Chains A and B, each alone.
Chain A
Amino acid sequence: MKTLMNSVSRRTLLQTGGALAATLAAPGLVRAQAPTVKIGLLQPMTGAFANDGDLAKIGAEYAIKEINDAGGIKALGGAKLELLVGDSRSNAEAGAQATEQLQADGAAIVVGGFASGIAMTGTQAAARYELPFIIDCAVSDALMTRNLKNVFRFNPSFSMAADVALKNLVLINDASGKAAKTVAIVHEDGLLGSGLAKLMQARLPELGFEVVETISHPTPARDMNNVVLRLRSLQPDLIIPSHYFNEFVLFARTLQQQRVKPKGIYALFGGAASSYKFVSEFPEAAEGVMDVNHWGDPKNPTNDKLMAAVKDAGKFYAYNTPINYSVIQVAAQALEFAKSADRGAINEALSKNEFDSGIMPYGKSKFDATGQNVNALPLNTQVQGGQIKVIYPDQFAQAKPKFPANG
């Protein structure tokens, strides 16, 4: 029985592998019609995170078009890239099934994942086929502890982001003559918010801040009045929120409603200062908000083009677009290095080389032994005069931080 199974699985593997190799190894034969390489994009196109999936797809499609227009993958005789979209339906099982589908449809490499739970099961499914998987923006540290040779993460992890956030916070606060002494943390109770809150709670006191309160709330939240009431009674100098867009909308509106004006709002992922939508709809509530988030290099001209593409699609720009644009660029470079669409070769290319990071401010991306991009870096942004400006680090900065924001 066992030998039967093994021989069958080996045979099927050989067949699919052979077919793939045949289509790819033929550049010399069919010059008129260059072969294509399929790139899978795993994103939530339906369900609670559907908006993130939409934005990610715009970025990925833009990158694919750009690469194809520039002559495709040169090492593969100008092979064109084709995007396969797998809908993870915003949940973990469907994420695994969609990854299986991408594998069955012949994807040579998969990018995306978005949320940590989906990235978890999606990468696990990909690991069975050694299918290279580059995570776009899932932050959980646990993702990269599983020793899966096919899994790479383009974006900064939780702890990397928290490090940057704390370092810059100290810089900003020192520059203001230590205006902020007391801090309140408001976070959603999922993986993202709770994880960051825990790190902040542990490390802020060492840096001279007093954490006066940590408040968690569920997603979706129906109401923020009680959270804001607590803040009104505690009067913290600085509020550190960490939640998704909808909750930030409620939170910021309720702060404004209840006339709570802290010296600053310093959001970790998903505040106003990384959302053009929020800034355009609620300019007053957005003014002065600072954010630490995945963010494209503002000085890269492609950034403006992507913004225009998102606007044309009738949507508002957010980090999903530049990060997925860039992760496709990394995938394309991996194909160039690998000189083949063979999975083993792509995985090896990803782990051995340095990559241009598209429009993300990562310099050269380099994946370490766990698969984490060691140069990944979130940026600090602030809403100033109705515009989102990068304020840290200096080489990307468009403006100086304004803190305290309310004079």
Chain B
Amino acid sequence: MYSPIIIFEALANGLMLGAVYALIALGLTLIYGVLHIVNFAHGALLTVAMYAIWLAFEKFGLDPYLAILIVTPLMFALGYALQRFIIGPSSHGSDNGILLVTLGLSIVIQNLLLAGFSSDTLTIATDYAFGVVPIGPLLLSLPRVIGLGVSLLTALLLWFVLNRTDIGKAIRAVAKERLGASLVGINVAHVYAMTFALGTACLAIAAGLLMPTFYVSPTTGAAFVLVAFTIVVLGGMGSILGALIGGLLIGVVEAVFSLFLGDSLGQIGIFLIFILVLLVKPTGLFGARG
């Protein structure tokens, strides 16, 4: 049996890592909620963002957290262009088309990264990467604490954009009633692209939060995709709040399972929850539609 300190620390760690998972899932759930597509290029786009953060650090000496401010608009633009000029036109709006195009894109992106950066594992070394925040007897990792804060802030910001801005209102209108929205003069293709762009921009922030403690290679994003899907389902597909709570929850579940079962079998816990939620309440914790 573990001492309470170890257990508390595991829970805290799960919560903090879960927040970053949530950030990755936020983009995915936003895109699903509006475009009704499962974006299989999400993992590859996360990898792109991580390389961008690495480049900013390596070539321009920018701190990964500061680099977020530059990489986010770039990823936003990339996301917009991808949806507006590639995914939208080439998929003809069919589910199968979107599935194939996003999968095809992920193959292209992953191998472009391989050709451009080669296969090396790249890391960023910062002074604060090994820093800890002592809270009582707990030693919390400084980058993780920052990750939790920034993730919560991002979710809040995203909520604000969706509820308090014109583009947010347009996005919600299209999500609810696509045809009606286009009838009142909303440019649906533009709104779709803006949504995709917002979802992709979230990845830039996640990448900035991950890079101080993680590494990047052309296949890195794949490690986070399945867990992000799980969170999206758990929280309810399309729900921002759901993704946030779902992410925190999955982080904690993963921590507890791996503390007691080991990391390998611990992964089963995540998928069992995923299956159970789908079977019992497919709309997830906060899903709107049935």
Contacts and interface: CB of A to CB of B under 8 A. Distances in A.
Nearest to A256: B130
A249 B120 CA distance: 13
- A interface bracket (residues with beta carbon within 8 Å of B): 35 or more
Nearest to A52: B119
A220 B223 contact: yes
A189 interface: yes
Contact of B17 (A53, A220, A223, A250): A223
Contact of B255 (A216, A226, A232): A226
Contacts of B17: 222-223, 225
A229 B9 contact: yes
A47 interface: yes
B214 A250 contact: yes
Contact of A218 (B9, B125, B255, B264): B264
Contact of A54 (B118, B123, B258, B259): B118
Q: State the main secondary structure of chain B at its contact with A.
A: helix
B259 A257 contact: no
Interface string B33-67: 00000000000000000000000000000000000
B285 to A, nearest CB: 22
Contacts of A50: 114, 118-119, 218
A215 B263 contact: yes
A189 B268 CA distance: 13
B123 A281 contact: yes
A397 B2 CA distance: 41
A245 B2 CA distance: 29
24 contacts: A46-B111, A50-B114, A50-B119, A51-B119, A51-B121, A54-B119, A215-B262, A216-B263, A217-B264, A220-B222, A222-B223, A223-B13, A225-B141, A226-B254, A227-B263, A229-B9, A230-B2, A232-B6, A233-B2, A250-B213, A250-B214, A257-B213, A281-B125, A282-B125
Interface of A: 46-48, 50-51, 53-54, 189, 215-218, 220-223, 225-227, 229-230, 232-233, 245-246, 249-250, 253, 256-259, 277, 281-282, 314-316
Interface string B129-141: 1101000000101
Most chain B beta carbons < 10 A, residue from A48, A223, A249, A281: A223
Given A50-B114, A246-B215, A257-B141, 5 more contacts: A47-B219, A217-B258, A226-B13, A259-B139, A316-B120
Given A47-B219, A246-B121, A246-B217, A218 B267 contact: yes
A80 B9 CA distance: 62
Interface in B82-104: none
Contacts of B10: 225-226, 229
